[in-house]
Amino acid sequence: MSKAFSLTIGDAAYAVDSTFDVVNPSTGAVVGQAPDASTEDLDAAVAAANSAFKAWSVTSEKDRQAACIAIADKLEENAEELAQILTREQGKPLGGIGSRWEVEKVVAWARFTSKLSLPVEGIQDNEAGRVELHRKPLGVVGSITPWNFPLLIAMWHVAPAILSGNTVVIKPSPYTPLSTLRMIELMSEVLPAGVVNCVTGSDSSGSNIGGAMSAHEGIRKIVFTGSCGTGEKVMESAASTMKRLTLELGGNDAGIVLGDVDAEAIAPGLFWGIFINNGQTCGSLKRLYVHEDAHDQVVDALVAFAKTIKVGDGLAESSVLGPIQNQMQFDKVSRLVADAKSRGDVKLGGEPGEGLFFPPTIITGLSNDDSLVSEEQFGPAIGVVKYTDQDDIIAMANDSDNGLGGSVWSSDVEKARALAGQLECGTAWVNKHGALQPNAPFGGVKKSGLGVEFGDEGLKAYTDIQVIMS
């Protein structure tokens, strides 16, 4: 890739002294250099965002809604360029549920957000007095994103932040910084200077931009998507400045299949619930519990469907799944699969491929004590647990510190809905898993996070309440 990538700070590209390499996980080739910002560069970004806040926070909501549409149009015009960068640095295929799909969703999310609104709410208006609830923007929002859906998660953070009158400093993952650098550069072309700013740093160079953002005096809120461990650090660093926090953290979602399912019919939905984005998805199905009456048929149908999926270089139009994004994640998946192989039956995959490629892997005969079931694998491997007693299954599914999503699969939708309501998780699906939509609040319970994103509830999280009584 020949393009030079720069930070966006204030009204211009911003030069820094050093850069770090970004690598294509399909090939190991260097695809570009990202700026390795210092904490002084972060200070410059926060200052630019703070200065832009004064004017942006008093623009009309109508103007900010129009800005979301302008963003959507701008990104749509540049969709193929963004998808190409994303595939090169993330590894996901261009086609299928890959980079082009992600950019389409980014554009759709900006358009949906443009229709949201935060009107003044009247609480009381009578002879005793008038009470109004106003929602006010916070100031500078710091957004910290992971490497699995770099553009979509960035849009989840940025669009509601700016619609509600805040300005933003975003820091993408050092594994996938380039697509975000380019997306924010494009957004800044249709926004006043300093409303969106992007700072990148390599976690290994010591500047720890994410940590510095969490503690920064000039940032009023952190919206963070990433692992539970880093989320805890963000919460600790944010305490002294009393930052508002939205934390979207790890999940270990259970999928419960009842004995009455039509195995062939649910196999494609189950497969994508588990293997979307190569399993590198916060809200994907990560533990599969199948009733003994349907177990063998479901496993056979899942394996048969998985065999139709082509894994390969993300830039090849024929690829449907790509590699694991980075060595750390590859090593984790390899460790969990090796452990599961010694305890269960490998029905598909199980052996690492070339480089960072790992084939879809399905291992049966496991229990809640096995690490592929009890830990978040965040990769293309699933452990299957056979169960006999429906009364025990909810307790088994809820036996986890995580509570992001969960699902129940059955021909009896009412029965499945009732069981879904007993799952300890932020979103419970019936006969599907992982579907997110911009009007439905999304967030985790237990250690999977704090607060929600999306829709009116998500938007409110970018504001403080002021009550006016007269």
Contacts of residue 244, defined as CB under 8 A and 6 or more positions apart, other chains included, come to 138, 220, 221, 222, 461, 464
> Rounded distance, CA 384 to CA 367, Å?
8
Nearer to ligand NAD, 177 or 344 (CB): 177
Q: In the bound complex, what is the minimum distance in angstroms from residue 322's beta carbon to ligand NAD?
A: 16
* Total residues interacting with ligand NAD, rule: CB under 6 A: 29
* Minimum distance from residue 60 beta carbon to ligand NAD (Å): 31
CA 188 to the chain's CA centroid: 22
165, 59 contact by CB (below 8 A): yes
Strand partners, 467: 133
- Containing 132, the helix (H) or strand (E) segment is strand 129-137
Interface positions, 246-265, toward ligand NAD (CB under 6 A) = 248-251
What are the angstrom distances between the C-alpha of 452 and each of 156, 238, 371, 446, 458?
11, 18, 28, 13, 5
Q: Which amino acid is at 102?
A: E
| Residue 53-92 contact track with ligand NAD, rule CB under 6 A, x = bound | ----------------------------------------
What would the two tokens of residue 434 be?
A: 């992982």
Burial of 384 (0-12, 13-18, 19+ CB in 10 A): buried
Considering only residues 119-158, where is the footprint of ligand NAD by CB under 6 A?
Answer: 144-148
* One-character DSSP codes across 20-85: EEEE-TTT--EEEEEE---HHHHHHHHHHHHHHHHHHTTS-HHHHHHHHHHHHHHHHHTHHHHHHH
Q: Which of 271, 289, 330, 378 binds ligand NAD (CB under 6 A)?
A: 378
Minimum CB distance to ligand NAD smaller for 233 or for 415: 233
Task: Point out which span in 26-34, 227-235, 238-246, 342-350 binds ligand NAD (CB under 6 A).
Answer: 227-235
Q: Please, which residue, 89 or 376, has the CB nearer to ligand NAD?
A: 376
**6 vs 208, beta carbon nearer ligand NAD:** 208
Please give the residues from 400 up to 419 whose contact with ligand NAD meets the rule CB under 6 A.
Answer: 404
Q: How far is CA 114 from CA 41, 66, 157, 309, 460, in A?
A: 31, 7, 14, 36, 14
Under the binding rule (CB under 6 A), the answer on residue 233 touching ligand NAD is yes
CA 116 to chain centre: 21
Catalytic residues: 248, 282
Q: How near is the Cβ of 426 to ligand NAD at its closest, in Å?
A: 9
DSSP-derived pairing of the beta strands 463-469 and 140-144? unpaired
- Contacting residue, 218, 255, 380, 449, with ligand NAD by CB under 6 A: 449
Please report, for residues 98, 255, 446, the alpha-carbon distance to residue 434 in angstroms, rounded to integers and kept in the order given: 15, 10, 18
Do 253 and 285 meet the contact criterion of CB atoms below 8 Å apart?
yes
User: Is 202 a residue that touches ligand NAD (CB under 6 A)?
Assistant: no
Stretch that binds ligand NAD, among 102-110, 223-231, 305-313, 406-414 (CB under 6 A): 223-231
Applying CB under 6 A, does 282 fall inside the site for ligand NAD? Answer: yes
Q: Do residues 79 and 104 touch, judged by C-beta distance below 8 A?
A: yes
* Nearest distance from C-beta of residue 22 to ligand NAD, angstroms: 13
Residue 368 CB, shortest distance to ligand NAD, in Å, is 19
User: 457 near 441, Cβ under 8 Å?
Assistant: yes
Closest to ligand NAD by CB, 284 or 364: 284
Residue 225 lies near ligand NAD (rule: CB under 6 A): yes
CB of 210 to ligand NAD, least distance (A): 2
Selected range binding ligand NAD among 114-122, 170-178, 294-302, 356-364, rule: CB under 6 A: 170-178
Range in contact with ligand NAD (rule: CB under 6 A) among 48-56, 171-179, 299-307, 454-462: 171-179
The footprint of ligand NAD (CB under 6 A) covers: 144-148, 171, 173-174, 203, 208, 210-211, 214, 225-227, 230, 233-234, 248-251, 282, 376, 378, 404, 444, 449
